Amino acid sequence: MKNQKHNIVFQPSGLRGKVADGTTVLNAARQLGASLESVCGGKGTCGKCKIRIEEGYYAKYGIQSAVTATSTRDEANAKFLTRQQLRQNYRLACQTKIHGDVVVFVPEESRKGQQVVRKEATARKINLNPAIRKYCVELKPATLDDMTGDYERLIEGLKKKYKLTNLAIDYPVLLKLQNTVRKGGWKVTVSIWKNKEIVDVEAGEVKRGYGLAVDIGTTTVAGYLCELTTGEILATEAMMNPQVAYGEDVMSRIGYATKEKGGLKKLNDAIINGLNQIAEEAAKKAGIKRTDIIDMAVVGNTCIHHLFLNIDPQHLGKAPFPPAIHHSVDVKARDLGLKVAGGAYVHVLPIEAGFVGADNVGVLIAEEPYNQDEMLLIIDIGTNGELILGNRNRLMSSSCATGPAFEGAEIKHGMRAAAGAIEKLKIDRKTKEVQFKVIGNEKWNTEDKKIGARGICGSGIFDVAAQMFLAGIIDKSGRFNMKVKSPRLRRDENDMPEFVIAWAKETAIDHDIVICQKDIRAIQLAKGAMYSGAKIMMNRMGVSKVDRVILAGAFGSYIDKTSAAAIGLFPNCGQNCVSAVGNAAGDGARIALLNVAKRDEADYWARRVEYVELTLEPDFNKIFTRALNFPHAEDKFPSLKNILPDDR
């Protein structure tokens, strides 16, 4: 049966096609474009790709579908599916292989929602000094008495009028030079990159120039189209990172790139196509052509950096995690497959260390802790949490494997920030009743009985943990307090405790949305990793407290600061000293786009930040274990004295 192909139909979408024998249902969904969650990249560790194998004859498709046409259930299926679900032929798509014709039903909770990408640009004062400058020059027409080449005429004109010398010209620009010169009546505008190379030529006088700053996050991608001479943001465009289909976190993608045939190409194609789409949509919004974009600046973590540049990331996945290059990179956009101006360059910011990438450097040049007297702790919350600690005297950085819990993965009813995701939550300390809001609806569930919750996203997860702790539903160790009297606190079919956040009638998935003990443990591991990173750096720095905590990243703008402090995401700091700055990495990309001197500054500081490898810290396990408690096993939180339970 090795070369045999089987029919598969996905319901309710109706997508169908043929796949090779032994193909997993998840890979079949990828091939056919069916909407199916894949948080862990097919490892069987997240449980988000639940599907149901249908039984019976489907005349419309001419298919006799049966569970026997698939591989038998394994430990991963048993881990994430209840006994009743297994009896009903539910399986994990990533662990189920196809060996015959089959019809597959994808339940609502397993379908990808259209993620709400919140990466607005922050208003910042930027000194304008772009890498691209435009120069208009009028040339003497060629005559029989003066047959000097058009390139030489151009070079001479630029030297005479602007004192520009030693200029190279991009080959595609040379190809269109003669026609452009004559179209403009011997008056042209050239775009010159860093006073070194002519990268575009336009007929007549053209004053405006356009650049695109891009933040490639693990989960989302944001592009900011800017006018280079004014710094004005003309359009912002964002999307889910298309690579998510191949794995939610960077380790999943490294594994896919190195182990799957053609994996690196698929991941590279995905992000390049995504950036071309962002460029197209942003240009359309601004009323220009995509090919008018003449410069780009890009940030991303180290793995994303390598995949974007089509560099094999395999060595990032094993100690000592060396990147292919630390320094910033300037590469022609066309060499990467980006369909902007033919001569455009892409500037990719430098990397600090194996898992502290160009995105963290973007945060550095945006927040400039190296110019501050205060002791700053900057936290970029994401699948791979990154930390910066210090001031003008000394800077440290570290990377925390927080896992994707804060973005909805590893949580039973966790989901991405999409319509229907619970994003805000309150629990009454006396009655234990729950109030929540979902994305796409301004009303609380108490105001809208048909609110249609689908799951819980990152900001809601912070609130859930904090509110359950503050209401006494879980104790400081994270254990459920079964003495609490509430119909919401109960045990599941395996006699494990769970707390109902939304009753089935309040959901769009026809069953209760709950938080279980395993979910709380995942949150503890994530927040404990972040707190440990900060604590270890503070110990290395010799400081007992920080003056300010800055929450960077678009996600940081939507979490409740009190919830983050209550669960112990970071060491004690007065609530008035905690602030969110939005997508600082994206702002860093924009700053680098608009000020070439900042690119040099980024290279300078990227090599001077002390990287701390947390796992090599002798006391790491002890520090980490203490950080698992809410908010901490030992550290005091005077700023929270009015809200913490009495026993804390």
Q: Give every strand in the sheet of 132-138, ordered side by side.
A: 132-138, 187-193, 197-203, 168-169
Each residue's pLDDT tens digit, 17-42: 899 999 999 999 988 878 788 777 78
Mean pLDDT lowest among 29-38, 193-202, 203-212, 596-605: 29-38
Phi and psi, residue 18, nearest 5°: -110, 140
Q: How far apart are CA 153 and CA 187, in angstroms?
A: 11
When pLDDT is cut at 50, 70 and 90, the band that residue 14 belongs to is confident
Q: Is 113 exposed, middle or buried (0-12, 13-18, 19+ CB in 10 A)?
A: buried
When pLDDT is cut at 50, 70 and 90, the band that residue 60 belongs to is confident
The Cα-based distances of 483 to 413, 480, 490, 508, 521 in angstroms read 24, 9, 11, 31, 20
Does pLDDT of 155 surpass 70? yes
Q: Is 316 exposed, middle or buried (0-12, 13-18, 19+ CB in 10 A)?
A: buried
What's the mean pLDDT when you consider all of the chain?
A: 91
Mean pLDDT lowest among 36-50, 219-233, 378-392, 569-583: 36-50
When pLDDT is cut at 50, 70 and 90, the band that residue 116 belongs to is low
Beta-strand relationship, 220-227 and 210-216: antiparallel
Each residue's pLDDT tens digit, 360-416: 999 999 999 999 999 999 998 876 789 999 999 999 999 887 766 777 767 888 887
Domains of the chain, first to last: 5-110 (3.10.20.30), 132-203 (3.10.20.880), 212-358 (3.30.420.480), 368-403+524-640 (3.30.420), 405-522 (no CATH)
Phi and psi, residue 415, nearest 5°: -155, 170
Phi and psi, residue 492, nearest 5°: -85, -170
Strand partners, 11: 105
Enter the tokens of residue 155.
């070079």
Contact between residue 560 and residue 465 where contact means Cβ atoms under 8 Å apart:
no
Strand (E) positions, 358-420?
A: 376-380, 385-390, 395-400
The DSSP annotation for 71-108 comes to PPP-HHHHHHS-HHHHHTTEEEGGG-BB-S-EEEE--G
The DSSP annotation for 259-298 comes to HSTTHHHHHHHHHHHHHHHHHHHHHHHHTS-GGGEEEEEE
Each residue's pLDDT tens digit, 140-154: 998 898 889 999 999
433: closest CA among 471, 479, 460?
471
Does pLDDT of 503 surpass 90? yes
Beta-strand relationship, 293-300 and 345-348: parallel
Number of alpha carbons in the 13 Å side-chain half-sphere of residue 327: 4
Each residue's pLDDT tens digit, 250-302: 888 999 999 989 999 999 999 999 999 999 999 999 999 999 999 999 999 99
pLDDT at residue 554, rounded to an integer: 67
Each residue's pLDDT tens digit, 431-453: 999 999 999 999 999 999 889 99
The DSSP annotation for 453-515 comes to B-EE-HHHHHHHHHHHHHTTSB-TTS-B-TTS--TTEEE-TTS-EEEEEE-GGGBSSSS-EEE
Contact between residue 219 and residue 382 where contact means Cβ atoms under 8 Å apart:
yes
pLDDT at residue 32, rounded to an integer: 82
Mean pLDDT value across residues 114-136: 80
Does pLDDT of 231 surpass 80? yes
pLDDT at residue 577, rounded to an integer: 93
590: closest CA among 210, 239, 197, 195?
210
Q: How far apart are CA 296 and CA 212, in angstroms?
A: 5
When pLDDT is cut at 50, 70 and 90, the band that residue 120 belongs to is low
Element (H, E) at 202: strand 197-203
When pLDDT is cut at 50, 70 and 90, the band that residue 114 belongs to is low
Contacts of 505 (CB under 8 A, 6+ apart): 449
pTM for the full predicted model: 0.82
Contact between residue 67 and residue 100 where contact means Cβ atoms under 8 Å apart:
no
Each residue's pLDDT tens digit, 61-108: 789 999 999 986 677 788 888 888 898 999 999 999 999 999 999 887
Q: What percent of the chain has pLDDT over 90?
A: 70
Contact between residue 379 and residue 556 where contact means Cβ atoms under 8 Å apart:
yes
pLDDT at residue 16, rounded to an integer: 83
The DSSP annotation for 144-195 comes to SS----HHHHHHHHHHHHH---S-EE-HHHHHHHHHHHHHTTTEEEEEEETT
What is the SS3 assignment for 536-552?
Answer: HHHHHHCCCCCCEEEEE
Provide the greatest CA pair distance for the chain.
Answer: 101
Each residue's pLDDT tens digit, 309-344: 999 999 998 888 899 999 999 999 999 999 999 999
Does pLDDT of 184 surpass 70? yes
pLDDT at residue 73, rounded to an integer: 65
Does pLDDT of 115 surpass 60? no
Enter the tokens of residue 74.
């394994």
